[in-house]
């Protein structure tokens, strides 16, 4: 009897220790799930497109569809982050599957460096799985110096499968929304100024031409504006059968990288009396479009 009682004491202690260990283990699992619930939910949304969370793609491998859709942009800044943040273009109209490049402008209004992080979603929320981003500032922590302003690219396409999904066939417009918050991980920040240091990209320029210039210009025929395939090296006002303004028709200008840059930055200031309404204040966008136009240049006899 005494021996049995002597053995039962240690056994009960081990049972209590095992119970306590199980409780602590369960608490640890619960704490881990709570701590990483946001991350796990974000990963779930990235895979499924739930909650209007957009998908990420390495490249646009989709075949472009004839169907078009309007994408509008909504921008917001949290009250604790003194930044100005806006879309350069309010909206674009694109083909499903079309690789599209748009720009957003951010400026730090404070007298000290600040790091921001952008959250994003699309509406209708059921579109999330079909909205694919190739490049976006929303994937990283972003740092702006005092009063610094930059333009940031977003490269995206809308998956053509949207048109064959019974739940999304009626969608004609998508809204892509961003909100910048003060970063909780400022030590991981990248300099937004890196976008200004990139080399000119003819590929980016081609996308910009499609979204910014194509409403008025084509490469091989006159439209609202003159044809532009061989504009580099061409004298201003020299395309046959195009009704130029007197200012352009008599301008003593030959189009090269420098003159095109001045023209795109401030056409009416560069050639007084010209009527072109569009300006491109961002130097990076101008140089990409110029790089694209230069890549199209071909040798031709005479004036083009």
pLDDT tens-place string over residues 60-102? 677 888 899 999 999 999 999 999 999 988 888 999 998 888 8
What pLDDT is stored for residue 83 in this prediction?
95
Give dist(CA 108, CA 127) in Å, integer: 32
Q: What is the largest CA-CA distance in the chain?
A: 119
- Taking the complete model, does pTM exceed 0.75, yes or no? no
Please determine, for residue 33, whether its predicted confidence score (pLDDT) is greater than 60: no
Closest-CA residue to 148 (of 182, 178, 104, 114):
114
More confident residue, 4 or 34: 4
**DSSP sequence for 120-161:** EEEESGGGGGGEEEEE-GGGS-EEE-TT-EEEEEEEEEE-GG
Contact 256, 233 (CB under 8 A): yes
Going from the C-alpha of 122 to that of each of 13, 75, 166, 173, the distances in angstroms are: 57, 12, 19, 10
What mean pLDDT comes out for the span 30-45? 42
Give dist(CA 100, CA 131) in Å, integer: 12
> What percent of the chain stands above pLDDT 90?
32
What mean pLDDT comes out for the span 112-120? 91
What pLDDT is stored for residue 11 in this prediction?
65
What is the DSSP code (8-state) at residue 254?
A: B
pLDDT tens-place string over residues 211-232? 778 888 999 999 988 999 999 9
What pLDDT is stored for residue 287 in this prediction?
84
Closest-CA residue to 178 (of 52, 75, 83):
75
What pLDDT is stored for residue 5 in this prediction?
52
What pLDDT is stored for residue 151 in this prediction?
82
Please determine, for residue 190, whether its predicted confidence score (pLDDT) is greater than 70: no
Going from the C-alpha of 229 to that of each of 157, 217, 218, the distances in angstroms are: 26, 10, 8
């Amino acid at each position: 009897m005494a021996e049995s009682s002597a053995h039962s004491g240690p056994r009960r202690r081990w049972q209590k220790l095992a119970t306590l260990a199980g409780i602590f283990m369960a608490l640890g699992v619960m704490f881990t799930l709570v701590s990483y619930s946001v991350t796990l939910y974000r990963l779930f949304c990235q895979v499924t497109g739930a909650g209007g969370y957009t998908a990420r793609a390495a490249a646009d491998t989709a075949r472009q569809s004839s169907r078009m859709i309007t994408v509008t942009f909504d921008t917001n800044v949290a009250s604790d982050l003194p930044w100005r943040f806006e879309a350069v273009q309010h909206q674009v109209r694109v083909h499903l599957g079309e690789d599209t490049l748009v720009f957003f402008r951010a400026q730090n209004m404070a007298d000290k460096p600040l790091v921001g992080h952008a959250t994003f979603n699309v509406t209708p929320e059921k579109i999330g799985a079909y909205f694919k981003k190739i490049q976006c500032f929303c994937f990283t922590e972003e740092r702006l110096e005092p009063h610094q302003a930059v333009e940031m690219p977003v490269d995206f396409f809308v998956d053509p499968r949207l048109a064959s999904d019974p739940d999304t066939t009626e969608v004609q417009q998508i809204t892509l929304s961003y909100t910048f918050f003060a970063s909780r991980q400022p030590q991981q920040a990248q300099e937004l100024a890196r976008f200004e240091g990139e080399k000119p990209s003819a590929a980016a320029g081609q996308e910009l031409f499609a979204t910014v210039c194509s409403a008025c210009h084509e490469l091989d025929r006159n439209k609202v504006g003159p044809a532009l395939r061989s504009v580099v090296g061409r004298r201003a006002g020299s395309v046959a059968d195009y009704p130029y303004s007197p200012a352009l028709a008599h301008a003593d200008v030959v189009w090269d990288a420098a003159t095109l840059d001045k023209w795109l930055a401030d056409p009416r200031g560069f050639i007084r009396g010209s009527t072109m309404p569009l300006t491109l204040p961002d130097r990076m966008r101008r140089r990409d479009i110029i790089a694209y136009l230069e890549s199209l240049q071909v040798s031709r006899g005479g004036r083009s």
